[in-house]
A = this chain, B = another copy of it.
């Protein structure tokens, strides 16, 4: 597929990832059509067309897809049967519906790694709470639901026998808790032509309680050997999947210097937001390039960057106010990205800030400055 501005691109999901994709698509005169169940989704005002519809509903997705040329996603929780049928009807659908379906199920993801020799933490499938309790010898572990697990939901950390009560009584699996040194992520892209590029590995720091990325730094402070290993692993995963599109791979670096795949997402990802300012090509432009089969963009770092999620302050629900924004805007190299959400609630992702600076110590200082001063209240 050669460059063509007249292509009709349809995106399932109209949240912040879709919004930033549209921001990139504007540069290419691309029409981006969005479907999302939320009539106030972040993409609403900037999409070429905006359809309210359930992404898991076969008929809604079919109706949305029928007049599009290329379909892609910004969330995995979509009706893959409809996407298959749209592909059979001649649409380009990337990532491929089979891959979305595989990734929707975290157990199937794990089984895929095991089958393909991709290093990942030991795991065992479980169907009931009682079955989890029988796996005491694996403690400490994480009990994860097969499906429905997003942003910290559907995940229960079981450290000791006393925690076993928190196990799920549903199709799930347990995964040995990894005593990791760092959490890393690599975003890899692959186009129809089979071209593969990876972004430099980033390092994520999670909030200890809410299990959301608190901030990340790109590039990661890791040895060239670990970097090489992480990059190679990312390419292996995307090639084994034979996926077309963008794939975010979250990894653990263990204390023994091993790298294990944690989870993957077949789309743009929170761990790639800093590429907008920090890399030659952003993850959003790369996603467009991959699904439209354009040449992939160069991913080199232009400037080291840190990314902080801007979350709704605990205890506030209502129309968002951005307290301290003026102070933050006065800091050199702070780039604000708000997601167009009118209403804030505790820990809701309302935006992110990217801080770019050649001095890593300065980056960390400014992360703290942003976190201390910018409060999203109602």
Binds B, one of A71-79, A105-113, A141-149, A335-343: A335-343
Contacts of A297 in B (CB 8 A): 329
Kindly name the residue among A29, A333, A336, A338 whose own CB sees the greatest number of chain B CB atoms within 10 A. Answer: A29
A19 at the interface (CB under 8 A from B): yes
Residues of A330-370 whose CB lies within 8 A of B: 330, 332-333, 335-340, 356
Are the C-beta atoms of A330 and B295 separated by less than 8 Å? yes
State in angstroms the CA–CA spacing of A322 and B5 once bound together.
8
User: Which of A20-28, A157-165, A223-231, A259-267 interfaces with chain B?
Assistant: A20-28
Find out whether the CB atom of B280 lies under 8 angstroms from the CB atom of A356. Answer: yes
Q: Residue A3 contacts which of B27, B329, B335, B339 (CB distance < 8 angstroms)?
A: B329
Q: Kindly list 6 other residue pairs between chains A and B, CB separation below 8 angstroms, not including A3-B326, A28-B336.
A: A3-B325, A5-B322, A5-B338, A289-B329, A295-B326, A303-B303
Of B3, B23, B27, B320, the contact of A322 (CB 8 Å cutoff): B3
Cα distance, A303 to B297, chains bound together (Å): 17
Say yes or no for A294: interface residue by CB 8 A criterion.
yes
A302: Cβ under 8 A from any B Cβ: yes
- How many positions in chain A have a CB within 8 Å of any CB in the partner chain? 36
- Taking the closest CB of chain B, its distance from the CB of A200, in whole angstroms, is 15
**10 cross-chain pairs, A with B, having the tightest CB-CB distances, nearest first:** A295-B330, A3-B325, A298-B332, A29-B338, A27-B337, A295-B329, A302-B303, A294-B329, A280-B333, A3-B326
For A320, the chain B residues whose CB sits under 8 A away are 5
B280/A332 in contact, CB under 8 A? yes
Q: Which residues of the partner chain B approach A302 to less than 8 Å between Cβ atoms? A: 302-303, 356
Residues of B near A289 (CB, < 8 A) are 329
Give, as a whole number of angstroms, the nearest-CB distance from A284 to chain B.
Answer: 12
- CB neighbors of B among A4-33 (8 A): 5, 19, 23, 26-29
Q: Which residues of B contact A280 (CB under 8 A)?
A: 332-333, 356
- Say which residue of B23, B28, B356 sits within 8 Å of A338 (CB atoms): B28
Interface CB pairs A-B, < 8 A, 8: A3-B329, A5-B338, A27-B335, A27-B337, A294-B326, A294-B329, A297-B329, A302-B303
Instruction: Choose among B45, B298, B303, B332 the residue that contacts A333 (Cβ–Cβ < 8 A).
Output: B298
Give A369 to B46 CA distance when docked, in angstroms.
Answer: 33
- A338 CA / B26 CA spacing, docked (Å): 8
How many angstroms from the CA of A46 to the CA of B326 in the assembled complex?
26
- Inside 8 A of A27's CB, which chain B residues have their CB? 23, 335-338
Query: Is A89 part of the binding interface, using a Cβ–Cβ cutoff of 8 Å?
Result: no
